[in-house]
């Protein structure tokens, strides 16, 4: 079955957007340092990604759901590590 171009573009956007948080997650994982990160900024980002995730479910848009689920999990990791390591 052939995917629609819009779905392919959406999946590519979801992949790249989610991938953008990976270097931060890897750095925190390796160094356990989060001092320079803003907890309110990451909490706000998490809330926004959660709402985009819910929106994707409501409109049944797989790229929106997948991209925001992955992005949300990465951001939640950052938030948890920020709370844990300050």
37 CB burial (10 A radius; 0-12, 13-18, 19+)? middle
Which pLDDT tens digit goes with each residue over 48-71? Answer: 999 999 999 999 999 999 999 999
Global pTM reads 0.89
Q: Provide the token pair at 2.
A: 């052939």
Which pLDDT tens digit goes with each residue over 11-39? Answer: 999 899 988 999 999 999 999 999 999 99
Cα–Cα separations (whole angstroms), residue 11 to 15, 29, 30, 65: 6, 26, 29, 10
């Amino acid at each position: 079955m052939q995917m629609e171009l819009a779905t392919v573009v959406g999946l590519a956007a979801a992949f790249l957007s989610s991938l953008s948080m990976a270097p931060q997650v890897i750095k925190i994982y390796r160094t356990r340092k989060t001092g320079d990160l803003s907890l309110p900024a990451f909490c706000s980002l998490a809330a926004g990604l959660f709402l985009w995730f819910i929106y994707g479910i409501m409109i049944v848009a797989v790229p929106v759901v997948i991209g925001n689920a992955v992005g949300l999990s990465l951001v939640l990791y950052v938030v948890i590590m920020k709370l844990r390591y300050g």
